């Protein structure tokens, strides 16, 4: 006997669901990229045993790579509480 095919409805995504990143995400990622570039510029300064290459550059690089870039990836806009209250009242 032939196998019964289950038809699933194709769910169309709204424009807000289709793009994972918004304008704010790209701005945060841009700040992270700027911090990383400044870190490498500070790392290339003379003298090699000065304050900029040994102290400032690693701090900028760690903040850029480990703090700002992940925040830019994970950041989402908060949904207003009024919308969530309306959804729960209708269900």
pLDDT for res 55: 96
Inter-residue contact 84 to 74 (CB < 8 Å): no
* pTM reported for the whole predicted model: 0.68
C-alpha span between 77 and 81 (Å, rounded): 12
Mean per-residue pLDDT for 75-85?
76
Candidate from 29-33, 47-51, 66-70 with smallest mean pLDDT: 47-51
Domain ranges of the chain: 20-76
Burial class (CB in 10 A: 0-12, 13-18, 19+), 76: exposed
pLDDT, tens digit, 9 for 90 and up, residues 1-46: 566 666 666 666 555 566 789 999 999 999 999 999 999 999 999 9
CA atoms within 13 A on the CB side of 59: 6
């Amino acid at each position: 006997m032939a196998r019964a095919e289950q038809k699933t409805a194709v769910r169309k995504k709204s424009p807000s669901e289709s793009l994972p990143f918004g304008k704010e995400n790209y701005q945060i990622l841009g700040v992270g990229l700027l911090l990383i570039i400044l870190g490498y510029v500070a790392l290339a300064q003379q003298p090699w045993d000065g304050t900029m290459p040994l102290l400032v550059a690693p701090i900028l690089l760690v903040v850029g790579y480990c703090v700002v870039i992940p925040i830019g990836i994970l950041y989402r806009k908060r949904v207003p509480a009024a919308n969530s209250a309306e959804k729960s009242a209708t269900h």
